[in-house]
Structure 1
Amino acid sequence: MRRAERLFQIVQVIGASQWTTAQALAERLQVSERTIYRDVDHLSASGVPLYSQAGKGYALLEGYQLPPLMFSVEEWQALLTGLSMAQGWAGQRQAEALRAVQEKLAMAVPSHLRALASPVSAPALPERRMLGALLDPLQRAIRERSKVRVHYRDVQEQFSKRVIWPLGLYFWGHCWTLVGWCELRKAFRHFRVDRIVILQTLSDRYPHLPGHTLADYEAAMDARCTDPQSTVEEKTPS
């Protein structure tokens, strides 16, 4: 948890109860009591009206609230719609993170917005849950620059094994595709995530090489769109 998020949580937790001890805060936020003491000092120096009492802990000046986030009704419902749709198509870990984001936002907006529900729902269907089991490890592999080995089934029902440097995930409204550098073809390739039969994250990390990055891929795609004679080697599985 980043410090800014932890500071926000400390104010929320203290404000939700009459008294809160440093020990209780440390246990809830999974940090040391020393860290809590430093954070409380930082909040006090920043003007948050916290006070303490021996044997009781910390309290927040009655009536103090964090400044609310100001959205119009349309903006708030658009945000809820986006979060709902993203949760329905995301991996499990990311969906949980999105729910946490929604809860934090709801705590920081005025009550008349908090009472509004999203006009759009995107429930996680069984096939999307299965897809989510692939999205979480792929996102982690992208973040950690880990190579992955995939057993892939293409549109002709042909199977292949590839070692890929995963660079990015793209959502097309009906499917996700993985973009990566394919060691077999020595070129950028697209892979539909729902056609990955087996996914294995390898211990090898791929290097940051010019011509092999996501920025290079996107630049090549831009060139291909503007120049029909461009010879970018890539293949989009259908």
Structure 2
Amino acid sequence: MRLRGDEFRPSAGRYAFRVVQPRPALRHTTLSDPLRGWGYLVGDHDGLARLAALFSFAAYSRHTVVHVPLRDSVPRTYAPGVPVDLVLAHRSLGLRPSVWPSLRRGLTRGTPGTVRTDEQRTADHAAAWQARWEQRWERLDPVDRIRPAVHARTLFLFGARDTFASASVQLEVAAGFGPRHKRAAKGYDVLVTSLTTHLPLSRGRHTELDIGFQAYPPYAHFRRPGRSASRRSRTAASP
């Protein structure tokens, strides 16, 4: 898959990073802070599909920060919690959330470009992570968990190749199966899958990060997969 984006090279003191943002912005996708309540990532098909590609890109881009602005997305009728942006980065990159506000101020003049993802490679590494999780979910190596942190109204997800690949597949599932739900045609959000199993285990309050689908309004444009836009509803008099 090819994904359009802007590339930036901001610096804060002695720290400098390559940052990639999707272009255009994901206008119909929102995210709530999972550390201050229920973490809920909900979007339309385009938003979830592009997020899947961004997670896949992050999986194989150890030296790149993926920044997804979501706070300015179109507000939803049901939007629990505190809205946050999203940042994906490898654990090995050494990005500290405390320097992010300075880096974010440098995201002003990006260079347009295109990033590519390999769906089969992503699926293979996602399957490898899933196999390890099924064998020893309670004893996973820290590298096999996505570590969340929140700072400056931004959710940071620090992961590695296989964890980001697995998260990408879950977003693909949400983009593919969410529109098939009966509630989707009525404009309701549909809880499809979750990234909670990717997060560290905790003894206190359980951190959750679920993924849902919701078509963007007006809902008259939306048709569930398999239904033609011109197909009439069958009546009792129909043969």
TM-score, structure 2 length as denominator?
0.23
Greater RCO (Cα-Cα under 8 Å, separation 6 or more):
2
Which has the greater radius of gyration? Answer: 1
TM-score, structure 1 length as denominator?
0.23
Greater helix content: 1
